[in-house]
Amino acid sequence: MNEVLGVVTLGQGDSPISGLGALLLIGGAILIFIVFFGLVFFASRYKRCPPNRVLVIWRQGDKTSSLRCIHTGGQLVLPVIQDHAYMSLEPLVIDIPLEGALSLNNIRVNVPSTFTVGIATDPVLMNNAAERLLNLPPQAVREQAQDIILGQLRLVIATLSIEEINKDREKFMGLINENVTQEINKIGLELINVNIRDITDESGYIQAIGQRAAAEAINRAKVEVAEQEREGAVGEAMAVRERNVRVAQERSLAEQGQKAAEQEQRVAVARLEAEAVTGEVQSKRDREIATAEREAETIAAKKRAEQEQRVQVATAEATAVEGENTNSARVAESDAQLAEVRAEAMRRGDVAKALAKTAILEKEREQEMARLGKEQLAPAEIEKQRIEIAAEAEAEKRRREAKGQADAELAKYLAEAQGTQKVLEAKAEGYRRLMEAAGANPQVAPTLLMIEQLPLLVEQQVKAIQNLKIDKITVWDSGASQIEGKDGGSVRSATAGFLAGLIGSLPQIHELANQAGVDLPSALGKVKGSDDIVDEPKGEKPKKG
Strand 108-119 to strand 200-201: parallel, antiparallel, or no bridges (unpaired)?
A: antiparallel
Phi, psi of 537 (to 5 degrees): -60, 155
Q: DSSP secondary-structure letter at 365?
A: H
Q: Is residue 184 part of a domain?
A: yes
- CA–CA dist 35, 43 (Å, integer): 12
Q: Is residue 481 part of a domain?
A: no
Dihedral, 124, 129, 131, 132 alpha carbons, nearest 10: 140
Considering the domain architecture, whether residues 297 and 233 belong to the same structural domain is answered as: yes
Closest CA relative to residue 451, chosen from 523, 508, 520: 520
Considering the domain architecture, whether residues 79 and 119 belong to the same structural domain is answered as: no
Phi, psi of 117 (to 5 degrees): -130, 165
Q: Is residue 486 part of a domain?
A: no
Residue-wise pLDDT tens for the chain (545 aa)?
344 334 334 444 455 556 777 888 888 888 888 888 777 777 777 888 888 888 888 887 666 566 888 888 777 777 778 888 888 889 999 999 988 888 888 888 999 999 999 999 898 998 898 888 888 999 999 999 999 999 999 999 999 888 888 888 888 899 999 999 999 999 999 999 999 988 888 777 776 777 777 777 788 887 888 788 888 888 888 888 888 888 888 888 888 888 888 888 878 777 777 676 667 666 677 777 878 777 877 887 777 777 777 777 767 666 666 666 666 666 677 777 878 887 887 888 788 788 878 888 887 777 777 777 666 666 777 778 888 888 888 888 888 888 888 888 888 888 888 888 888 788 778 777 777 777 767 666 677 677 777 677 777 767 766 666 655 555 555 555 455 555 555 555 566 666 666 666 677 777 767 766 666 666 667 766 544 444 444 444 444 43
Considering the domain architecture, whether residues 72 and 121 belong to the same structural domain is answered as: no
- Decide if 241 contacts 312 (C-beta within 8 A): no
Tell if the pTM clears 0.85, that is, is over it.
Answer: no
What is the reported pLDDT for 544? 42
Dihedral, 325, 328, 333, 338 alpha carbons, nearest 10: 150
Considering the domain architecture, whether residues 303 and 375 belong to the same structural domain is answered as: yes
- CA–CA dist 168, 173 (Å, integer): 9
Q: Is residue 23 part of a domain?
A: yes
Q: Is residue 442 part of a domain?
A: no
Is the alpha carbon torsion for 116, 118, 121, 127 positive or negative?
positive
What is the reported pLDDT for 183? 93
CATH of the domain at 138: 3.30.479.30
Considering the domain architecture, whether residues 79 and 110 belong to the same structural domain is answered as: no
Closest CA relative to residue 334, chosen from 248, 254, 253, 256: 248
Q: Is residue 445 part of a domain?
A: no
- Decide if 369 contacts 377 (C-beta within 8 A): yes
Among 38, 60, 85, give the residue marking a domain's end.
85
What is the reported pLDDT for 541? 47
In which domain, by residue range, is 130 found?
90-203
Query: At CA 179, angle to CA 176 and CA 185, rounded to 5?
Result: 120
Q: Is residue 161 part of a domain?
A: yes
The total of structural domains in the chain comes to: 4
Three-state SS at 267: helix
Q: Please, what is the angle between helix 16-45 and helix 2-11, to 10°?
A: 100
The gap between the terminal CA atoms of the chain, to the nearest Å, is 191
- CA–CA dist 206, 196 (Å, integer): 15
What is the reported pLDDT for 5? 37
Considering the domain architecture, whether residues 350 and 403 belong to the same structural domain is answered as: yes
- Decide if 337 contacts 245 (C-beta within 8 A): yes
Considering the domain architecture, whether residues 224 and 182 belong to the same structural domain is answered as: no
Considering the domain architecture, whether residues 113 and 234 belong to the same structural domain is answered as: no
- CA–CA dist 257, 94 (Å, integer): 92
Among 418, 438, 466, give the residue marking a domain's end.
418
Considering the domain architecture, whether residues 154 and 265 belong to the same structural domain is answered as: no
Q: Which residues contact 523 (CB under 8 A, 6 or more apart)?
A: 537, 538
Among 418, 433, 454, give the residue marking a domain's end.
418
Considering the domain architecture, whether residues 229 and 317 belong to the same structural domain is answered as: yes
Give the gyration radius of the chain's Cα atoms: 63
Closest CA relative to residue 370, chosen from 283, 287, 306, 438: 283
Considering the domain architecture, whether residues 160 and 74 belong to the same structural domain is answered as: no
- CA–CA dist 446, 438 (Å, integer): 10
What is the reported pLDDT for 474? 56
Considering the domain architecture, whether residues 366 and 290 belong to the same structural domain is answered as: yes
Paired with 109 in beta bridges are 101, 201
Q: Is residue 500 part of a domain?
A: yes
Three-state SS at 154: helix
Q: Which residues contact 445 (CB under 8 A, 6 or more apart)?
A: 431, 434, 435, 438
- Decide if 177 contacts 194 (C-beta within 8 A): yes
Phi, psi of 431 (to 5 degrees): -65, -40
Q: How many CB atoms lie within 10 A of CB 396?
A: 10
Q: Which residues contact 285 (CB under 8 A, 6 or more apart)?
A: 278, 378, 382
What is the reported pLDDT for 31? 86
